[in-house]
Structures are given as structure tokens and as C-alpha cells.
Chain A
Amino acid sequence: GNSVTQMEGPVTLSEEAFLTINCTYTATGYPSLFWYVQYPGEGLQLLLKATKADDKGSNKGFEATYRKETTSFHLEKGSVQVSDSAVYFCALSDSDYKLSFGAGTTVTVRA
């Protein structure tokens, strides 16, 4: 079956630090990959996506590249802000179109 494994949190950083959240996946087909972000008390927002190997998704300074050879989709941001404090979910969608989520990584950015 499909599964997503992402870096355990919580992660605490200082403002302007570099952020990486590791995500690896197992899928039977050729999945699409997503990063969603959940701010406190809110629903999930799509942060970025990639639908095929070597695609790079990017949004709001965040980037992730679909690496088929390593079955990974790591999220990176070069300089985080306090407003980036949130829970980040890696997810995949395969031939069954359902989202399989990772456990989520809580990121706290200190001023």
C-alpha cells in the first residue's frame, strides 16, 4: 500500500535559519506529491505540489523536488520567518486518488 514517512518533530529554529523537512514515500504506482501546511486553529492549505519525477514545486520561498530514485520529496526554505510556524504535512495521491498523509512536522520559528 501507499505510505508517507516524514521527519519527526518538533523542529525549533531561529528566524532566517534554513529549514529542511525530510519526506519519503512508498507507492505502488506513479503518485503525485504534495506539501500541505496547517496554521494553528486552521485547516490545511496546499503549499506546493509535484506530479512527476524531477518536477520542482515552489511557493512562498518553499521548494521540494520529486525524486523518484530516492522516493523522496523533501521540503526546504532558505530563510524562515516567525510566520512560517505551523504543522507541515507531506502527502501523496496515487491511482486511488486518496491522500495518504505523513504524521506531520511541527515547526516553531523564534524571533
Chain B
Amino acid sequence: DAMVIQNPRYQVTQFGKPVTLSCSQTLNHNVMYWYQQKSSQAPKLLFHYYDKDFNNEADTPDNFQSRRPNTSFCFLDIRSPGLGDAAMYLCATSYRRNSNQPQHFGDGTRLSIL
């Protein structure tokens, strides 16, 4: 089935050690999103790509960056993870950047910081 795949499902890293989370999609969607979800909270949008056009949210820390080398893949890089960055990270896609387009989510990567 076409889907959004996130790897790994669980990631442990050390305080301050760079980490990369990956997302791939077989939906051929134009838009890819990254969300951060902390325990018992709603997802918070970090940034998104519309094709190759990167769009950062105003309150996303500089510590978080993203790459989209092609339509299918998108990466979330955390340059120097702090304890407050421990969370579930969700990747989502949509066909177009349009209000009536639903977003399709992956199962997430749970990041722990030691």
C-alpha cells in the first residue's frame, strides 16, 4: 500500500549529539511536513516542503533543520539535541498545499535523549 514510512521507530541519542530522522513516501505527494508531538499534546508543525521550497515555522528553533533531496524522501536534522527535544516526531504528506487536502501521517519516530 502507498504510505508514509518513518525510520527508525525509536531513536536514542546523547545530549548534544546530532541526529537525523528520515521519512519516505510512496504517495508522490508534493508537500511533506514535520511535526513535533510531546506527551499528551497535539502535534506542532516545525516546517514543511512544498516541492523543493522550504517553509519554516516562525517559532521552530534553529537547532532543527530539514532536507528534501527528492520527492520521496525528507529528513529532519537536530544539530544539538537537548533534553527538551525528546518527543515523537511525525512526518506527514499532502498532495497539494490546499485547505481541503488531508494530511497523511507516518507512524512517527520516538526520540529519547540521554
Check A97/B107 contact, CB under 8 A, given A43-B90, A103-B41, A104-B40. Answer: no
* A43: contacting residue among B45, B97, B98, B105, CB under 8 A: B105
Q: Is residue A98 within 8 Å, beta carbon to beta carbon, of the partner chain?
A: yes
Q: How many inter-chain contacts with C-beta < 8 Å in the A-B complex?
A: 53
Pair B42/A104 contact, Cβ less than 8 Å:
yes
CB <8 Å contact, B45 and A99: yes
Is A95 located at the chain interface by the 8 A CB criterion?
Answer: yes
Given contacts A42-B108, A43-B90, A43-B105, contact A98 B100 (CB under 8 A): no
* Interchain CA distance A34-B104 in the complex, whole Å: 12
Q: B43: CB under 8 A from chain A?
A: yes
Q: Size of chain A's interface in residues, with CB distance under 8 A?
A: 26
A contacts, CB < 8 Å to B: 29, 31-32, 34, 36, 41-46, 49, 51, 89, 93-99, 101-104, 106
Residues of B whose CB lies within 8 Å of any CB of A are 4, 6, 40-43, 45, 90, 92, 97-108
A-B contact pairs, 17 of them (CB 8 A): A29-B99, A31-B99, A32-B99, A32-B100, A42-B107, A43-B6, A44-B92, A51-B99, A93-B100, A93-B101, A95-B99, A96-B99, A97-B97, A97-B99, A97-B101, A102-B42, A104-B41
